[in-house]
């Protein structure tokens, strides 16, 4: 390896507390050797060691195989803090609060969709606004926004945006209790009102995919996935609303630290101690953004169903367009975990990491409880995505966490410099993938060569016994900002 780490197994490495002064816990890296070497090429490991120095961090600082450098804290990182005397950090959660993915199944077969794929992508691209600053006017008022933030998905379903069964297949049932929009700045609220139902830009996308292979028949059947069927994957978050919440509270926490003479291991790792006013206010604002993001993806789901109905001449219900699951990536949650034989309440921060609870946990939707939580891992543009199921081992190893994607190996600017748009367009065309994009520069930024190999990443997760691979999905059409 390119950095000092002890090899524990073929899929697990550890950097001990002696590696950097102030580290309170080791850093554990879940990856095969190929993937682990990519983690040593930027500041990912340094950021993880800084995070391992934060107060009351518990057990291990964790890096998933998709880990790469982020704002202060690595994307693909997980850190848990004692709920009694630990800390809360906006930078550890990140700017795109509840960036997440949701998977929608259909009864349509590949041969049903291929002849109409171009038309379908045009309709989806028209009905779901994307790109920087994308907005849509659905007539929502300030009162609607308050209800969205406090009541989440159930509120918007009651207004006609979805099936009543959808809430059963969303993490947190589409609503984190305790949100309070009064803790959100007026500017953040103003940004959010017309962003509900929009995709955004960057690495956010909508893909029409085919179930290419099933690797776990039992779990695939439970999740409603059948080889040869068509599904839709959506990746988006809380848009400018959540971004502004993070920006606002980074300033609040910086002031808190200055008043209390706290010097974090990295200026971007500002924090406040749990149960302080600053931490409580942030959690209430963050939960508002979490619920906003769930609703954003719910409204897009409604638009996707309407688009399919328009193209195929049948209702979404008749097309079998059920929600498989919706998972969140950037979040902090109060959870109970066993740590060295002791049951503890922890504030688990996941940034670019997916909850992957094993079978039996009450937090998992009842339909899936005996199988483990569905874990949805999108690849980069033009490559495969995967559905996995959480394992019991994840509960003791990673606080029930898994990776969230393939993980960057190039910055956006480097990708623009080094990967010609023509190369990517030719590659997508050779694979028969329909592309719709509003900003052609994104094609280079999101090229598969700017990311790790998703197969290596997912195989690392399965090899580490964190999650089991259930099905492989391959894109047919891609829509981006």
Given the structure tokens 């190996």, which residue do they identify? 409
Tokens of 460: 């690392």
Q: Catalytic annotation on 404?
A: yes
What phi and psi values does residue 103 have, to the nearest 5 degrees?
A: -115, 130
Dist CA 477 CA 304 (whole Å): 13
Alpha carbon of 452 to those of 338, 378, 396: distances in Å? 32, 12, 27
3-class SS at 232?
A: strand
Listed residue (122, 123, 29, 38) closest to 77, CA to CA: 29
Cα–Cα distance between 465 and 419 in angstroms, integer? 35
Strand partners for 28: 14, 62
3-state SS, residue 88: strand
Q: Which of 209, 204, 150 is nearest to 177 (CA)?
A: 150
Q: Residues for the chain: how many in total?
A: 481
H or E element, residue 30: strand 27-30
Kindly write down the DSSP assignment for every residue of 291-342, as one continuous string: HHHHHHHHHHHHHHHHHHHHHHSS-TTTTT--EEEEEE-SEEEEEEEEETTE
Contact predicate 290/178, CB 8 Å: no
Tokens of 193: 């009102």
Could you give the residue numbers annotated as active site? 404
């Amino acid at each position: 390896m390119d950095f000092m780490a002890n090899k524990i197994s073929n899929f697990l490495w550890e950097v001990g507390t002696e590696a950097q002064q102030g580290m309170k816990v080791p850093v554990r890296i879940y990856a095969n050797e190929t993937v682990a070497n990519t983690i040593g090429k930027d500041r990912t490991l340094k950021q993880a060691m800084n995070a391992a120095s934060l107060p009351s961090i518990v057990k291990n600082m964790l890096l998933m195989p998709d880990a790469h450098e982020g704002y202060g804290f690595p994307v693909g990182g997980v850190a848990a803090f004692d709920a009694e005397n630990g800390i809360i950090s906006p930078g550890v959660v990140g700017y795109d609060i509840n960036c997440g993915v949701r998977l929608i199944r259909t009864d349509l077969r590949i041969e049903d969709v291929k002849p109409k794929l171009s038309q379908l992508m045009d309709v989806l691209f028209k009905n779901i606004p994307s790109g920087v600053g994308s907005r849509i006017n659905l007539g929502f008022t300030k009162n609607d926004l308050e209800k969205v933030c406090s009541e989440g998905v159930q509120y918007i379903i009651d207004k006609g945006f979805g099936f009543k069964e959808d809430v059963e297949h969303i993490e947190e049932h589409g609503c984190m209790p305790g949100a309070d929009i009064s803790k959100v700045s007026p500017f953040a609220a103003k940004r959010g009102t017309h962003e509900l139902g929009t995709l955004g830009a960057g690495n956010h996308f909508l893909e029409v995919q085919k179930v290419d292979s099933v690797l776990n028949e039992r779990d695939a059947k439970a999740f409603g996935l059948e080889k040869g069927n068509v599904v839709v994957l959506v990746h988006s978050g809380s848009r400018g609303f959540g971004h502004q919440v993070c920006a606002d509270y980074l300033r609040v926490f910086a002031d808190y630290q200055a008043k209390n003479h706290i010097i974090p291991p990295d200026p971007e790792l500002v924090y406040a101690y749990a149960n302080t006013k600053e931490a409580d206010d942030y959690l209430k604002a963050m939960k508002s953004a979490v619920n906003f993001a769930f609703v954003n993806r719910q409204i897009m789901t409604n638009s996707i169903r309407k688009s399919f109905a328009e193209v195929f001449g049948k209702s979404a219900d008749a097309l079998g367009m059920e929600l498989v699951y919706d998972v969140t990536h950037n979040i902090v949650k109060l959870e109970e975990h066993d740590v060295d034989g002791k049951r503890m309440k922890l504030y688990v921060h996941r940034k670019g990491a997916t909850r992957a609870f094993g079978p039996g946990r009450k937090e998992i939707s009842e339909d899936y409880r005996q199988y483990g939580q569905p874990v949805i891992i999108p690849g980069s543009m033009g490559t495969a995505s995967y559905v996995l199921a959480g394992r019991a081992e994840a509960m003791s190893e990673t606080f029930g966490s898994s990776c969230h994607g393939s993980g960057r190996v190039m910055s956006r600017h480097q990708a623009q410099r080094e990967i010609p748009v023509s190369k990517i367009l030719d590659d997508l065309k050779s694979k028969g993938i329909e592309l719709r994009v509003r900003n052609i520069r994104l094609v280079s930024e999101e090229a598969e060569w700017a990311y790790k190999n998703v197969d290596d990443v997912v195989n690392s997760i399965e090899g580490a016994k964190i999650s089991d691979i259930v099905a492989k999905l391959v894109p047919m059409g891609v829509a981006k900002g």
